[in-house]
A and B are shown apart, each in its own frame.
Chain A
Amino acid sequence: MNMIEKILARGAGKKHVSPGDVVVAKVDLMVMHDLSSNFVMRVFETEMENASICDPERIAFVFDHNFSPATQQAAEALAAVRRFAARHGIHKVFDGGHGSVHHVIIENGLWAPGQIIIGCDSHTPIYGALGVFATGVGNNSMAALGFAHGRAWFRVPETMRVLFHGQAQAGVTPRDVAQHLVGRLGEDGAVYKAVEYAGPYMEAMEIEDRILFPLMSIDIGAKCGYVNPDEKTLAFARARSAAKDFEMPVNDADVIYCDTLEIDVSTLEPQVACPPTVGNVKPVGEIAGVKIDVAEIGGSTGGRLCDLRTLAARLKGRHAAEGVRLQVVPASRAIYREAMREGLLETLFDAGANIFPPSAGSNQAFNMGALAEDEVMISTQARNFPGRNGHPKARHYLASAETVAASALAGKIADPR
């Protein structure tokens, strides 16, 4: 069995599982953001008469779309979730300003290798970089099986493997490689599958970058993604997980893959996902010169400390191009604090950036990030679908922090090399 199958078998109390099996497994953590916690709460309260919460300690809410509600309606929605949590003894509530949901969970150590994590958020597979089986489930799954029984149903996925070789050019980051993969496979390139990310390039990568790959698995249609745990996973878990004891399942030697794709990263240019989908990925050279109105470092695929460092290094002593609104959204409070300590925020402030509270940033435009018709944004966010950031005819390009920084300086999409 591979890592995913071993974790699912253990969660389901079985010796062995195979692709195609349907299992009901115990879950170790149930993650929701401010919107999905409200949706799940409504299902639990209206459709699950007399049910009680199985284990409130295994539930975590992170308010990240709203760092501070901008409307009364949003305020009521958040207040209802706070009351629900208090009523049911759910203590792990991270209110607005704590950061982007999964970054908050990782930073606070609410995970451990070998666990099953479900989330009402399609980017939940992110924990696959940490030796965890993690996937997104619906609000009814979460309310009916998760809240009430601490369980979830899964179809055991087939697993495909992507092997990355070679050394990337300067200015080409793991974000570019992950985005290239999404473009190459397309939005349906791995539908319903698990994707294992491997090869020398992946092995050399730090966890902070590895998380991008399982996170972006949703955008190739996959159920989950993972990196077979190694010494880096173990060191990260020992340093960051709150769990003292954990087992770290790894692939057996005779793992079977339904498909293997090999990618040489050495020839890649920086990659940009263009409207209208995350799979419409082009080398930056093909779209350089597109004028931008907004540049943002933030979101579940951005706002990491490394992203802030990249932006600050590029903008030190300089200023964003005239007419460009530059937005910086740290992914967590710890990142915000470290960025203050290192002087990054001062550098970015002087470069004309607006610094926003740790949150999901412009993702879905709750507190920020709505665009008018024909406005253009380039960001490190994860999604660019029409209607997600204001007007359906606004255009949102997704790129690495390097490319966003170069574009902010140029006032148009620019090659960072």
Chain B
Amino acid sequence: MGGYILKRLVSAIPVLFGITVIVFLIMAMIPGDPALAILGSYATPENVEKLNRDLGLDQPLVARYFIWLGNMLTGDFGRSFSLNRPVIDEVLDRFSATLILAGTSLVLCAIFGIAAGVVSAARQYGFADKAITFAVLLGISIPSFFLGMMMILLFAVRWKMLPVSGMYAIYGGGDLPDLLNHLIMPALALAVVATGVVARLSRSAMLEVLRQDFVRTARAKGVPEGRVVWGHALRAAMVTIIPVLGVQAGFVLSGAVYIEMVFQWPGVGRMLVDAILKRDILLVQGGVVFVAACYVLFNIAVDVAQSVLDPRIKT
């Protein structure tokens, strides 16, 4: 097992290296440079040139890449010029906010998605199945940002039950209940689509499993139906469901961009959008590399979990 994990980690290195090259080249190729973005109306060629020199952008591309890569390997991600603070501080701050949001959504979509799928499959073509299938279709069809705005209008503006936006109250907040209070709407809005997807796939995975011989055997032995479904069958179906959760993790991470905009969640998605618009090269590069690295690691974790669940998958 240890060897397997190590092997997967080593194989991730070329991927990460490729990401650094791609993100660097994209930032170098998109038109409009940071000096232009900073100076705006005042961007005379003279001012732009001086500012680029001050920002260290007057050096050749290759030299800039290796300076950046070298610094990053020693843990120095550079300094964001649009926020005037170290990139790594900003990325860690923002990424932890995104993790709270996306993590909560992922847990919600796993719980509700799997439960809905299992119930649906166990009562195939029954009322519960039809109701769940309809709700799932509805959930998959609503764009999350629209759902978010509607939630704000109802729960925050009309009924004043929940705060509109942000992660903590501006005054007298900062504790866990305050965080949860701010988290409810964005986490639900983000989880809806993913829940639908997980529910659908759990349903089909369960239907597949419920037809198999060992289920019939269990039933014949007199195992209570609840244990057959939630114990025997679900466990076998998890092998199919877990990779779906891995994919959904990527989905909620990227879907978080919209939700973070709507709810002003101080997450990494909103940070990247702002940074791209401001051509904050180091912040974009550092942020993308960091997020990509986390995603790669998460996928490795999913694969490992899968091989633990299903010994047939070679380690």
User: Do A and B form a real pair?
Assistant: no
Give chain B's interface residues, CB within 8 Å of chain A. none
Give chain A's interface residues, CB within 8 Å of chain B. none
